[in-house]
């Protein structure tokens, strides 16, 4: 478990200690979709604007 700052609103984001790089987390304050780009140290970035679905 770690507390990180949202890169968008600077709000507090809780990251599960078992989370892995590339995992998606959402900021509870501003709703931004964030990507855990590193786990050591924990680092969040805005997730790329990508499709969820296979696009079929």
- Interaction partner, residue 47 (another protein, Zn ion, none; CB < 5-8 Å by kind): another protein
Peptide bond between residue 41 and the one before it cis (omega within 30 degrees of 0): yes
Please state, in angstroms and rounded to a whole number, the distance separating the CA atoms of residues 13 and 48. Answer: 18
Site membership for another protein, residue 14 (CB under 8 A): no
Binding residue (CB under 8 A) for another protein from 1, 3, 20, 41: 20
| CB contact set of 47 (below 8 Å; sequence gap of 6+) | 24, 33, 34, 35
With binding defined as CB under 8 A, does residue 17 bind another protein?
no
Residues that bind Zn ion (CB under 5 A): 6, 8-9, 11, 27, 29-30, 32
């Amino acid at each position: 478990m770690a507390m990180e700052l949202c890169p968008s609103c600077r709000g507090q984001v809780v990251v599960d200690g078992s989370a892995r790089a590339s995992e998606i987390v959402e900021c509870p304050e501003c709703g931004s979709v964030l990507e855990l780009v590193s786990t050591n140290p924990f680092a969040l970035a805005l997730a790329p604007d990508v499709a969820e679905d296979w696009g079929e």
